[in-house]
Amino acid sequence: MNISVSERVRVFQTNVFSELFAYKKQRLEQGLEVIDLSVGSPDLPPPVYVMEVLADAVKDPTQYGYALKGTDEFHEAVAHYYEKRFSVLLDPSKEILQLMGSQDGLVHLPMIFADPGDLILVPDPGYTAYEAGVHLASATLYPMPLKKENQFLPCLREIPEDVAKKAKMMILNFPGNPVPALATKEFFEEVVQFAKKYEIIVVHDFAYSELIFDEKKGISFLEIEGAKEVGIEFNSLSKSFNLAGARIGYIVGNEKMIEEIAKVKSNLDYGTFLPIQKAAATALKGGTEFLHQNRKIYERRRNILVEGLSSLGWHVEKPSATMFIWAEIPKGWRSKEFALELIQAGVVVTPGNAFGVQGEGYVRIALVQPEEKLKRAIELIDQSGILQRKR
């Protein structure tokens, strides 16, 4: 039988993470050491009190029906969190929508607001889910380069007038993945004015809102005057509270946009498991001390890795946020070649060009191993001699 797939699916390639996993598996089967710093999956547990709430809730036999949507308790907890952390006031019933992880919404979103052929402005390099969503909507991706000389912020002035007029949506991500840059208030103000001028929906992915270092503070897009008129913000408990496997996130912002997303979502799933909602609400209402401790762990890991690589002669920028280092590779290498050489050394990272054309010349290193493992990774890189070899 001849099995064919749709045109929209044909554009998908084998995910780079699957390819890296295959190399990693091969090395492990050979009995060789591997330290995986490729996938941004937290290795730390959620708060103990959150696990206890979850454990108690799963023993309640009344909690196993369809959730259908976010509970009032969860929505109120999100509103409480946003008011406390960002001084943003939200209507729990109209300006918040629960998701089964933020990627759920990010991938489906373009299908709701864009027709085939419509332009969507996407950061390059950018999180791979953005491109997947554009393709599934049969829309057209227009890359916004994130360049070092612009502090990795897209230059809106460089977007051609005809492109801006055709664009339906702009996706932003600060602090970002794979580029851990921070947005400024001035930049977001420029975005709001740009969006109003060209009637573009702004989508801000704020998944790393709590992993910001050196006593700096992240900016919610919704803090900016006029932001709710043009956009929405995605957030998640995956990275902030180490609940990645629980798959729970949410959208906040423009009431009308959220209403339209809710209509589609009601046809896609039956909601997040009720005990997970209860645990997530508990985290959002009382996680200040945990968030501080979690942040400090990643900050120490960042320092160990950046300083360790620097001692080997590989000088990389010290990121201000996220669980990633966006490392410019030594001259003469291509991103994928360099990443494959590191795998041979026993260290798995992600080539930067997996996230877009502008990612060439970089690798993404995830801070998802204990400090001793990071120190060992530095030793393995040193022993490999890769930094002394020229291409």
For β-strands 167-173 and 201-205, DSSP reports them as parallel
Q: What is the pLDDT of residue 13?
A: 63
CA distance 155 to 163: 14
Tens digit of pLDDT at every position of the chain (391 positions): 888 888 777 766 666 777 788 888 888 899 989 999 998 999 999 999 999 999 999 999 999 999 999 999 999 999 999 999 999 999 999 999 999 999 999 999 999 999 999 999 999 999 999 999 999 999 999 999 999 999 999 999 999 999 999 999 999 999 999 999 999 999 999 999 999 999 999 999 999 999 999 999 889 999 999 999 999 999 999 999 999 999 999 999 999 999 999 999 999 999 999 999 999 999 999 989 999 999 999 999 999 999 999 999 999 999 999 999 999 999 999 999 999 999 999 999 999 999 999 999 999 999 999 999 999 999 999 999 999 876 5
Q: Specify the CATH architecture of the domain 7-45+289-385.
A: Alpha-Beta Complex (3.90)
Q: What is the pLDDT of residue 14?
A: 61
Q: Are 35 and 347 in contact, with CB atoms under 8 Å apart?
A: yes
Q: Are 375 and 50 in contact, with CB atoms under 8 Å apart?
A: no
Q: Do the first three CATH levels of 7-45+289-385 and 48-286 match, i.e. the same topology?
A: no
Partners of 140 in beta bridges: 119
> Max alpha carbon distance in the chain (Å)?
63
Q: What is the pLDDT of residue 17?
A: 72
Domain ranges of the chain: 7-45+289-385, 48-286
pTM for the structure as a whole: 0.96
Report the chain's terminal Cα–Cα distance, integer Å: 47
| Other Cβ atoms closer than 10 A to 227 | 23
Domain 48-286 has CATH 3.40.640.10: yes
